[in-house]
Amino acid sequence: KEDRTGRCMDKSITLPPDEIFRNLENAKMFAIDIGGSLTKLAYYSTVQHKVAKVRSFDHSAKVNGDLLYEISVQEEITARLHFIKFENAYIETCLDFIKDHLVNTETKVIKATGGGAYKFKDLVEKKLKLKVDKEDEMTCLIKGCNFVLKNIPHEAFVYAKHADSEFRFQNTHPDIFPYLLINIGSGVSIVKVEAEDKFERIGGSSIGGGTFWGLGALLTKTKRFDELLQLASKGQHTNVDMLVKDIYGGAYGSLGLTGNLIASSFGKSATTDKEFSKEDMAKSLLHMISNDIGQLACLYAKLHNLTRVYFGGFFIRGHPVTMHTITYSINFFTKGEVQALFLRHEGYLGAIGAFLKGAEEDNPNQYSWEENYAGSSGLMSASPELNPVQRARSGTFDMLEMDRLDRQLVNLPLLQDPTSYIPDTVDLTEDALAREYWLYCFEEALDGVVKRAIASQKDQPEAVERAEKFRQKYRHKVQTLRHQPFAYGSLTVRSLLDTREHCLNEFNFPDPYSKIKQKENDMALKYYLKVVKSVEELSWEQRQFTLVKGLLAGNVFDWGAKAVSDVLESDPDFGFEQAKQQLQERPWLVDAYNQWIERLKGPPHKCALFFVDNSGIDIILGVFPFIRELLVRGTEVVLASNSGPALNDVTNSELQILTERIAAMDPVIHAALKEDRLALVQNGSSSPCLDLSRLDKVLATAVRERGTDLVIIEGMGRAIHTNYYAMLSCESLKLAVIKNSWLAERLGGKIFSVVFKYEVPSKA
What confidence tens digit (pLDDT) does each residue in 152-206 have?
999 999 998 876 678 889 887 778 999 999 999 889 999 999 999 899 999 999 9
| Residues facing 50 on adjacent strands | 75
Residue 472 contacts by C-beta under 8 Å, 6 or more apart in sequence?
none
Alpha helices in 459-590 (DSSP H): 463-483, 493-506, 514-536, 540-554, 562-570, 576-582
8-state DSSP, 198? E
**Using an 8 Å Cβ cutoff, are 524 and 207 in contact?**
no
Cα dist. 276→216, 237, 247, 280, 284 in Å? Answer: 13, 10, 20, 7, 11
Condensed to tens digits (0 to 9), the pLDDT of residues 18-31 reads: 567 777 777 778 89
Residue 674 contacts by C-beta under 8 Å, 6 or more apart in sequence?
none
Q: Count Cβ atoms below 10 Å from residue 527 Cβ, excluding itself.
A: 15
Element (H, E) at 759: strand 753-759
Q: DSSP letter string over 559-619?
A: TTSHHHHHHHHH-TT--HHHHHHHSPPSSPSEE-HHHHHHHHTSPPPSEEEEE--BTTHII
| Residues facing 661 on adjacent strands | none
Which letter, b or e, does each residue of 461-490 get, where b requires 16 or more Cβ atoms within 10 Å of its Cβ?
A: eebeebbeebbebbeebbebbeebbbbbbb
C-alpha–C-alpha distance, residues 584 and 572, integer Å: 22
Q: DSSP letter string over 283-338?
A: HHHHHHHHHHHHHHHHHHHHHTT--EEEEESTTTTT-HHHHHHHHHHHHHHHTTSS
Element (H, E) at 192: strand 188-195
**How far from the centroid of its chain's Cα atoms is residue 728's Cα?**
22
Nearest to 678 by CA among 712, 629, 637, 630: 637
C-alpha–C-alpha distance, residues 443 and 428, integer Å: 16
C-alpha–C-alpha distance, residues 444 and 364, integer Å: 39
Provide φ and ψ at 475, rounded to 5°. -60, -40
Cα dist. 711→606, 654, 735, 757 in Å? Answer: 11, 22, 11, 12
Angle formed at CA 683 by CA 608 and CA 56, multiple of 5 degrees: 95
For the chain, the maximum distance between any two Cα atoms, rounded to a whole number of angstroms, is 100
Condensed to tens digits (0 to 9), the pLDDT of residues 710-731 reads: 999 999 999 999 999 999 999 9
C-alpha–C-alpha distance, residues 212 and 217, integer Å: 8
Over the Cα atoms of the chain, what is R_g? Answer: 29
What pLDDT does 380 receive? 66
CA dihedral sign of residues 716, 717, 721, 726: negative
Element (H, E) at 127: helix 121-128
Cis bond before residue 178 (omega within 30° of 0):
yes
Nearest to 169 by CA among 377, 423, 401: 423
CA dihedral sign of residues 506, 510, 513, 516: negative
Structural domains of the chain ordered from first start: 17-151+349-405 (3.30.420.40), 157-240+276-343 (3.30.420.40), 424-507 (1.20.1700.10), 513-759 (3.40.50.10880)
Residue ranges, the chain, pLDDT below 70: 1-19, 57-66, 103-105, 163-164, 380-396, 572, 764
C-alpha–C-alpha distance, residues 431 and 377, integer Å: 23
3-state SS, residue 222: coil
C-alpha–C-alpha distance, residues 666 and 660, integer Å: 10
**Using an 8 Å Cβ cutoff, are 573 and 673 in contact?**
no
**Using an 8 Å Cβ cutoff, are 32 and 354 in contact?**
yes
What pLDDT does 392 receive? 38
Q: Is pTM beyond 0.85 here? A: yes
What pLDDT does 38 receive? 85
Cα dist. 35→10, 204, 224, 642 in Å? Answer: 17, 20, 15, 42
